[in-house]
Amino acid sequence: MNGKPEFMNPDGKPGNAGGKYYVVKDKVVAFDDSKFKPGDEVASYQIHPLSGDRADIKVTQSWKDGVHTSVVSRKLVTGSKLDVQFSDLAAQYPFGFAAFDNAQVRHAVHYDPLFLRFAK
């Protein structure tokens, strides 16, 4: 790389000027120095969309009124031998959820058991 990014987002906007701080694999263009000036912030993360069983899970996140909300979704029955099959909606299913908050210390941790129960 010689200290210079190889790719950038197609819009060519620096992160600190309304652009993104990441690029999505297969949705990039060659890096163009002429689109940036000293002090501009360039995307430094490359996103690789998931595939296979891992792609079954979708997560959306929002921040409103000081509360961070993550909504996780997937099909109830996936047919995968690697997934829990939510075929009994009266059962409760133990699970875990980890959110990496980039805080260096005191990450988002939940020590008590969590159970998924479907509403009736």
Per-residue pLDDT of 49-108, as tens digits, reads: 888 888 899 989 999 999 889 898 999 999 999 999 999 999 999 988 777 766 677 666
With beta carbons less than 8 A apart as the criterion, state whether 31 and 23 touch.
Answer: no
Rounded to the nearest angstrom, the gap between the alpha carbon of residue 58 and the centroid of all alpha carbons in its chain is 9
Q: What is the pLDDT of residue 27?
A: 87
**What pLDDT digit, counting tens, does each position of 14-44 carry?**
989 998 888 888 888 888 889 899 999 988 8
pTM, to two decimals: 0.56
Whether residue 2 is predicted with pLDDT greater than 60 in this model: the reply is no
Show Cβ contacts of residue 83 under 8 Å, excluding neighbours closer than 6 positions. Answer: 53, 56, 74
With beta carbons less than 8 A apart as the criterion, state whether 30 and 7 touch.
Answer: yes
